[in-house]
């Protein structure tokens, strides 16, 4: 895989959002339809193949944005493997109790590359 000198951020637009696994209740009638969730590391390893596809991922919630609670960050095995998850208005805000818990999400994987053009636009906005 070709390395990019700039940061790659994988962005997941949520179609469905599951609550913290510590609060999750099991339903014996749904055991046959259990889905397999990929880790953050697995998704990032194959990210280029999964762009615009529906993915099921599980990771440690490290932060929920306080401005509306519709963005959260999931971490893999180390701090450099992170995916930003965004919910929509229909799903509402994420619960603050989910921080430091394992979270499962289903959504469409989107890519946002930070390149020179992106940085120029960003600098212009904050100036």
Q: What is the mean pLDDT of residues 92-103?
A: 86
Strands (E), the chain: 8-20, 38-39, 54-64, 71-75, 82-86, 102-113
Query: What mean pLDDT comes out for the span 42-67?
Result: 91
Q: What class, spelled out in words, does domain 8-20+36-126 have in CATH?
A: mainly beta
Q: Is the pTM of this model over 0.85?
A: no
Instruction: Report percent pLDDT > 90 for the chain.
Output: 32
pLDDT tens-place string over residues 1-39 = 333 322 333 334 343 344 454 444 444 444 556 789 999
User: Structural domain boundaries of the chain?
Assistant: 8-20+36-126
Structure confidence at residue 10 (pLDDT): 38
């Amino acid at each position: 895989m070709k390395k990019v000198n700039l940061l790659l951020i994988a962005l997941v637009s949520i179609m469905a959002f599951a609550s913290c696994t510590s609060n999750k209740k099991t339903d014996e009638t749904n055991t046959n339809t259990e889905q397999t969730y990929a880790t953050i590391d697995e998704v990032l390893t194959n990210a280029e193949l999964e762009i615009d596809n529906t993915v099921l991922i599980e990771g440690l919630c490290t932060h929920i944005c306080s401005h509306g609670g519709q963005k959260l960050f999931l971490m893999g095995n180390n701090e450099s493997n992170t995916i930003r998850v965004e919910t929509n208005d229909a799903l509402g805000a994420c619960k603050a109790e989910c921080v430091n818990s394992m979270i499962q999400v289903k959504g469409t994987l989107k890519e946002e590359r930070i390149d020179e053009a992106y940085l120029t636009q960003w600098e212009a906005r904050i100036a």
